[in-house]
Amino acid sequence: MTKKEYVMGIIESLQAHQDLLPNDLQTLLQEVKESLDRVSADSFFMESNHAVSQPAQYQPYQSDSPLFRLSEGYWEIKRLAEVNRESHPDMIRAADQLGGLLGASENYSPE
């Protein structure tokens, strides 16, 4: 399984719970899915692993990166999954997978 397929699987698992997601999160997930559809698995892997071909000051900022976009909605997705943990255990599983992918931690506090 490629990283792209893994992320697409997370998105599809979350989209299965559209009835629980506000419109802005539904839109975000759909836009990220469409963005992923337009890139190859190899290209996504290189971009998402921060492979660069030039110094950082010359590297363009990628605010439309699929993982960056998903990070924008992560905490709301996590909150909704927690609230619906009992009735939708597969949603919490997808939220946890997304958190692992993004390296998200509620307790992380940089020094």
In 3-state terms, what secondary structure has residue 57? helix
Residue written as token pair 């905490």: 75
Per-residue pLDDT for the chain (111 aa), expressed as one digit of tens each? 999 999 999 999 999 999 999 999 999 999 999 999 999 998 888 777 765 566 666 666 566 789 889 999 999 999 999 999 999 999 999 999 999 988 855 554 444
Nearest to 97 by CA among 62, 70, 59: 70
Contact 102, 66 (CB under 8 A): no
Q: Is the dihedral of CA 55, 51, 42, 25 positive or negative?
A: negative
Supply the pTM of this predicted model.
0.82
Query: Where are the domains positioned within the chain?
Result: 3-52+62-102
> What span, in angstroms and rounded, lies between the C-alpha atoms of 63 and 79?
23
